[in-house]
């Protein structure tokens, strides 16, 4: 007879079936009134698990054994996918990943924002499921005689020691291997905590070494032997300013058609999936039948990823970004591409949104906020006369919160489309288009 007692912490569960996947990528199991979240599983897996953290309303567990694998399960491409925190869903075939991303996205919006399911479009798949990451941070640590490089295990500072990653293009894996080989032979590696690797649309590579020792010149000389990358930099003691060893520190992505070349400084933000970024820009542009008379306000504009493609089609674009280096590059990119209808401001969007709306009277608002969303901004926007809002989100939960406010305060959702920018993970990007109620 089955006990009604919940599974105790540290105890191994009996074989139980994973009911579904949830936001955050974990599987969900219900047992004797207890809700348990388990990472690294597929819906339909029969598993044993061990509870590692018991909360009042739920418990978190670790996978102990797959008793019977789900038909949705596959062998991961990476041998440490089950240990590394970089990929949560490599054990799912890509078509299954897309099904779950779209399903969870729909559930977030229909349940939390109360929008109609038919307004949500099918997910846009990534052109590449592997080798798509144009930027990556490699964690480093000297342990005994070994120089470990790799990624943290989930919810820890323990490095999974690896020499390559299938999500990275071959050029970056080769750069990683060369840097590791050179640094591991030197005592200087004991003071290296991270390697930042990047590649742009023209296959130019850059590496930034995070160093907290006192022999910068010796390390710089050592790094010059890395001959398969154009740009070499040191980040010393976590200071913002980088020490230049070689190169100009500029990486360039190509967007739109005809092609625009947008540069950004090493260490600054750019989308990591460059082919999918192009698709996302195309989707944003296609939402509105531009007449060439529009005034567009682009918040969190970065180095002009949306601003400049849109500027080709409208009267004026005002871009706002808190990062001074990104705004500097947005201005430079506009100059290089001969735009005369753009204005870029280095400011906190939330602090100046009211002034911007009053001064420029924008017809269209584009915003691409961080994961925390833009709740304080949408509360102010709802009082404005902006007719069109295009909201690019990297977090369905904060999007649902902000969307719920907009649709209850003067706007209606015209459509929302999930986009897979991050294959092999549970993360989901999206574009949502709102119109002002008549």
| Tokens representing residue 174 in the block | 């080769």
Tokens of 399: 């999007």
Nearest to 225 by CA among 207, 242, 212: 207
State how far the Cα of 123 lies from the Cα of 66, in Å rounded to an integer.
30
Q: List the one residue out of 24, 57, 56, 58 whose CA is nearest residue 40.
A: 24
Q: H or E segment at 23?
A: none
Contacts of 390 (CB under 8 A, 6+ apart): 284, 287, 288, 364, 365, 366, 367, 431, 432, 433, 434
Nearest to 311 by CA among 272, 255, 350: 255
Kindly state the helix (H) or strand (E) to which residue 79 belongs, with its residue range.
Answer: none
Distance of alpha carbon 424 from alpha carbon 226, whole angstroms: 30
List the structure tokens of 319. Answer: 């871009």
Kindly report whether the peptide bond that precedes residue 245 is cis, defined as omega within 30 degrees of 0. Answer: no
| DSSP annotation string for 233-294 | EEEETT-SSPEEEES--EEEEEETTTTEEEEEETTS---SBHHHHHHHHHHHHHTS---S--
What phi, psi does 140 have (nearest 5°)?
-135, 150
Q: At what angle do helices 396-407 and 94-112 cross, to 10 degrees?
A: 30
Q: Which of 84, 87, 394, 417 is catalytic?
A: 394
Residue identified by tokens 């602090």 is 351
Instruction: Characterize the bridge pairing of strands 192-199 and 135-143.
Output: antiparallel
Alpha-carbon separation of residue 184 from 17, 144, 190, 219 (angstroms)? 45, 12, 9, 12
**Alpha-helix runs per DSSP H in 120-169:** none
Q: Is 301 among the residues known to form the active site?
A: no
Q: What angle do CA 26, 30, 34 make, to 5 degrees?
A: 105
Alpha-carbon distances, residue 350 vs 246, 321, 353, 376 (angstroms) = 38, 10, 6, 7
Tell me the C-alpha to C-alpha distance, in Å, between residue 297 and each of 34, 260, 368: 48, 20, 11
Catalytic residues: 394
């Amino acid at each position: 007879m089955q006990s009604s007692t919940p599974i105790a912490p540290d105890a191994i569960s009996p074989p139980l079936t994973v009911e579904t996947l949830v936001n955050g990528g974990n599987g969900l199991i219900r047992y004797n009134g207890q809700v348990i979240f388990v990472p690294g599983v597929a819906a339909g897996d029969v598993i044993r698990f061990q509870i590692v953290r018991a909360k009042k309303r739920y418990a978190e567990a670790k996978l102990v054994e797959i008793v019977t694998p789900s038909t949705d399960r596959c062998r991961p491409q990476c041998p440490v996918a089950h240990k590394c925190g970089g990929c949560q869903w490599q054990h799912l075939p890509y078509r299954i990943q897309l099904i779950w991303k779209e399903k969870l996205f729909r559930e977030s919006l229909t349940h939390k924002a109360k929008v109609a399911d038919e307004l949500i479009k099918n997910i846009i798949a990534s052109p590449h499921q592997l080798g798509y990451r144009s930027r990556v941070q490699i964690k480093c640590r000297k342990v005994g005689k070994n120089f470990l490089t790799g990624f943290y295990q989930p919810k820890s500072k323990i490095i999974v020691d690896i020499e390559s990653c299938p999500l990275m293009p071959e050029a970056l894996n080769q750069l990683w291997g060369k840097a590791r080989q050179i640094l591991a032979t030197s005592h200087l590696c004991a003071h290296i905590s991270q390697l930042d690797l990047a590649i742009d649309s023209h296959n130019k590579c850059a590496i930034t070494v995070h160093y907290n020792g006192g022999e910068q010149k010796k390390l710089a000389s050592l790094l010059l032997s890395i001959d398969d990358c154009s740009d070499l930099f040191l980040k010393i003691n976590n200071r913002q300013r980088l020490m230049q060893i070689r190169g100009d520190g500029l990486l360039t992505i190509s967007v739109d058609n005809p092609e625009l070349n947008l540069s950004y400084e090493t260490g600054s933000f750019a989308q990591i999936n460059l082919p999918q970024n192009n698709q996302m820009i195309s989707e944003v542009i296609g939402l509105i039948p531009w007449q060439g008379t529009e005034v567009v306000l682009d918040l969190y504009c970065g180095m002009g990823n949306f601003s400049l493609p849109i500027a080709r089609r409208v009267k004026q674009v005002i871009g706002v970004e808190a990062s001074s280096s990104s705004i500097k590059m947005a201005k430079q990119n506009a100059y290089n591409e001969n735009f005369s209808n753009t204005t870029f401001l280095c400011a906190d969007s939330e602090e100046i949104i009211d002034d911007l709306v009053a001064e420029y009277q924008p017809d269209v608002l584009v915003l691409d906020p961080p994961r925390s969303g833009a709740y304080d901004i949408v509360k102010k926007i709802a009082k404005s006369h902006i007719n069109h809002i295009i909201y690019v989100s990297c977090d369905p939960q904060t999007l649902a919160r902000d969307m719920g406010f907009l649709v209850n305060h003067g706007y209606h959702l015209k459509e929302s489309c999930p986009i897979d920018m991050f294959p092999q993970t549970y993360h989901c990007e999206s574009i949502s288009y709102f119109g002002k109620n008549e």
